[in-house]
Every structure is written in structure tokens, then in C-alpha cells.
């Protein structure tokens, strides 16, 4: 969903807590290029560097997959470039708007720390924020990005890069003020222990498998020709209550959406 506060507010209570999560623009661009390799915006280029060197035309500027995706998804114009007149004013306006709309901005690159911060902000427990990674790439589909390419990505996605820099700073400020650095280390360790325990309980073999090895349809990750994704198989020896909990943790996004839809509207 592309965020538009005025529309969301029509559905949500006035005291709703708004939070979002950002991914580092360099890793996000590499992932986007790899995952959506067959889209027209990318398919005519031999590599990510080829796209960054030769693909910066008007069509790319207005495509949310190809340019300043964070800004686009948060509801802002994504066409700004490093050479845009008044860039500083644009950046400041976007950052101010995000800070006004959201109570908390988290970071994908520090996911466990983000979950602990969210836990404290909402007075939750570790059980409320434990999770398994869904739709993560297998090792053979991971690629590294050179420092030169990384700098190209930052320049191409200058608005995203400035947004990320700002909220990376505010994130760690909130860690220190809401949690404390030593407490954060302790709770991240506890969260990892809980994740490991649940992996051994819920998962056959205690770990993820490649998509083609996933047995249940509800747990199948998205299929892409350009990447190999990972999914999970449930431990076949679970009791009914534990199985239900574990199923929710490995469920694919479309399947989980159906579960939430049914829960929300089954009485109407």
C-alpha cells in the first residue's frame, strides 16, 4: 500500500499508533533490481551498473521500483535527483512530513533491534515480536555491491538516501532514550534465543528450505524466475494449538492477508 494518511485515517481510530520501516537504499536497490529483473524498466539492461549508468530516463524516474522507492511508498513524489533544484528544501519537507505522520520509524537492516524498540513503544512482550523471515533469498541468489556501485545508488536515490540517513540517526537516539544500549543488547539476545527455540519447535529440520522444497501451499513464498527464495516446512509432530501458531509464523503474505480478512469480516 502506498501510504496516504488522509485515507488511512478514515478507517483507523484517532489514537492509532503509526509506524513504518525503512531499508537501506543500497541493499534495497540491489534486491529490487534482482527481484524485478523481468520488468521492462530493468530488462533491457545487462546489470545493475548498466541500469545506473544508462537507465536514468524519464520513464525510470516515475517508476516506484526504479527510483526513490522509500519516498514513493511513503506517499511522496519520487522524481528528485541529485541535480534537482531546491533539493535541500524537498528533503527537509519530506522528512518533516514523515515525522508528522509516524510515531516511530524502524530499520530493516536492524530488524531485531527494531522489534525490541517497537516492543517498548507499545508495551508488548518478546512473544509479540518474535518472527521468522519470509521471502528471504537463498544464498545462491545473493549478490554483493561494490563501493562504486553503492555510491551510484545513493546518488540515483538521493531522496531515499537522505531519508534513511535522517531516520538512522533518530532510530539510535530512540534506542538510547527508550531502551538503553545495554538493555537493547540483552533483549536482542533473548529474542534470538526465542527465535531459535521456536525454529526447533515449529520447523522440520529447524531451518528454512528453498521454495521448491516447501510442501504446503500456504507456506509457499512468492515465485520469481530471477531469484531463489526460501520458505519453511512445519514439524509434522505438532499439537493442534502449536501448529496453528507455527502456521501463522511461516505463512506467505497473500495467505496471511486472507487470514486477516476472514478475521475482520467473518461476522459481517
| Residues of the domain holding 19 | 5-204
pLDDT per residue over 4-20, tens digit each? Answer: 999 999 999 999 999 99
pLDDT for the residue 216: 80
pLDDT for the residue 42: 86
Q: Give the CA distances from residue 42 to residues 47, 124, 199, 210, 231, in Å, rounded to whole numbers and listed in that order.
A: 9, 42, 37, 25, 26
Say how many domains are in the chain.
1
107 belongs to a structural domain: yes
Residue 132 in this model has a pLDDT that exceeds 80: yes
Asked if 252 contacts 222 with a C-beta cutoff of 8 angstroms, the reply is yes
Confidence of residue 100 (pLDDT cuts 50, 70, 90): very high
Residue 38 in this model has a pLDDT that exceeds 80: yes
Q: Give the CA distances from residue 171 to residues 110, 113, 148, 225, in Å, rounded to whole numbers and listed in that order.
A: 10, 10, 27, 36
pLDDT for the residue 118: 98
Quote the distance between the C-alpha of residue 18 and its chain's center: 16
Confidence of residue 63 (pLDDT cuts 50, 70, 90): low
What does the chain come to in residues?
A: 268
159 belongs to a structural domain: yes
Question: Which residues, at least 6 apart from 52, have a Cβ–Cβ distance to it below 8 Å?
Answer: 149, 152, 153, 156
262 belongs to a structural domain: no
Confidence of residue 147 (pLDDT cuts 50, 70, 90): very high
Q: Give the CA distances from residue 145 to residues 108, 220, 225, in Å, rounded to whole numbers and listed in that order.
A: 18, 28, 21
Ordered alpha helix ranges (H), the chain:
5-8, 25-35, 40-43, 48-54, 58-61, 69-73, 87-101, 111-122, 126-129, 147-156, 158-174, 181-202, 240-250, 253-265
If you average pLDDT over residues 126-152, what whole number do you get? 88
- Dihedral of CA 39/43/48/53: which sign? negative
Q: Say if pTM beats, i.e. exceeds, 0.85.
A: yes
If you average pLDDT over residues 247-255, what whole number do you get? 87
Asked if 97 contacts 76 with a C-beta cutoff of 8 angstroms, the reply is yes
pLDDT for the residue 202: 95
248 belongs to a structural domain: no
178 belongs to a structural domain: yes
Beta bridge partners of 210: 230
Residue 228 in this model has a pLDDT that exceeds 90: no
SS3 107: strand
Longest dimension (CA), the chain: 62
247 belongs to a structural domain: no
210 belongs to a structural domain: no
pLDDT per residue over 201-217, tens digit each? Answer: 999 999 888 878 888 87
Amino acid at each position: 500500500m502506498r501510504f496516504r494518511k488522509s485515507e488511512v485515517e478514515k478507517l483507523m481510530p484517532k489514537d492509532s499508533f503509526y509506524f513504518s520501516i525503512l531499508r537501506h537504499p543500497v541493499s534495497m536497490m540491489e534486491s529490487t533490481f534482482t527481484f524485478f529483473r523481468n520488468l521492462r524498466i530493468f530488462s533491457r539492461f545487462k546489470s545493475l551498473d548498466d541500469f545506473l549508468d544508462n537507465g536514468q530516463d524519464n520513464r525510470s524516474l516515475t517508476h516506484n521500483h526504479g527510483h526513490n522507492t522509500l519516498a514513493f511508498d511513503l506517499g511522496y513524489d519520487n522524481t528528485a535527483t541529485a541535480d534537482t533544484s531546491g533539493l535541500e528544501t524537498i528533503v527537509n519537507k519530506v522528512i518533516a512530513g514523515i515525522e508528522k505522520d509516524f510515531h516511530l520509524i524502524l530499520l530493516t537492516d536492524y530488524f531485531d533491534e527494531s522489534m525490541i524498540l517497537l516492543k517498548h513503544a507499545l508495551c508488548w512482550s518478546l512473544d509479540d515480536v518474535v518472527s521468522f523471515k519470509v521471502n528471504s533469498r537463498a544464498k545462491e541468489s545473493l549478490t554483493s555491491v561494490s563501493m562504486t556501485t553503492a555510491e551510484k545508488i545513493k546518488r540515483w536515490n538521493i531522496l531515499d538516501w537522505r531519508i534513511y540517513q535522517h531516520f538512522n540517526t533518530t532510530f539510535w537516539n530512540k534506542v538510547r532514550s527508550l531502551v538503553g544500549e545495554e538493555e537493547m543488547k540483552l533483549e536482542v539476545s533473548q529474542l534470538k534465543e526465542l527465535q531459535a527455540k521456536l525454529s526447533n519447535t515449529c520447523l522440520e529440520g529447524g531451518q528454512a528450505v528453498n521454495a521448491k522444497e516447501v510442501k504446503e501451499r500456504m507456506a509457499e513464498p512468492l515465485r520469481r524466475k530471477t531469484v531463489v527464495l526460501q520458505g519453511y516446512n512445519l514439524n509434522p509432530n505438532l499439537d493442534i494449538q502449536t501448529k496453528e501458531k507455527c502456521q501463522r509464523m511461516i505463512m506467505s503474505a497473500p495467505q496471511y492477508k486472507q487470514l486477516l480478512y476472514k478475521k475482520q469480516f467473518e461476522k459481517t
